[in-house]
Amino acid sequence: MGTGRTTRNTTHRIGVQAGATLFGAMAHKNVDCAMTTEPTVSALLAAKSAYIKALAGEKGIYNPTGIMPPNGPPTNLKVLSTFNPKVKGKQINLTKTYTDQFVQAAR
């Protein structure tokens, strides 16, 4: 999921696919900063300085403690349920899919 434009402490989140679609969204300035996984990350490293600059400008949207707020997992599930057929309509026990124990241990 990428994050859309930010203006005066306002962040608009939009979903984009990984790989070429994400690159296109970034190239066309539809996404200023994005969160993604491998292999997209490795491909983005070719444009590392631009990615770091965009991320630095957006880091205020991330929780500085690294701990997801209590409403984070249910909110993510709600969003995924709107478009992901593997999740939509399913009963998912979030206590079995999410933990902040690693962040707690790192403190």
Q: In this predicted model, what pLDDT tens digit does every residue of 2-56 receive, in sequence order?
A: 444 445 556 667 777 666 777 777 777 777 777 777 667 777 677 777 777 777 7
Local confidence band at 87 (pLDDT 50, 70, 90 cut-offs) = confident
Higher-scoring residue by pLDDT: 61, 82: 82
For residue 7, the surrounding DSSP H or E stretch is: strand 2-7
Amino acid 25: pLDDT: 78
Helical segments of the chain, H only: 20-27, 40-44, 48-58, 72-83, 101-106
Phi-psi region of 63 (alpha: psi -120 to 50; beta: other; left: phi over 0): beta
Per-domain boundaries in the chain:
2-61, 72-106
Helix or strand (DSSP H, E) at 46: none
pLDDT at position 93 is: 92
pTM greater than the 0.85 cutoff: no
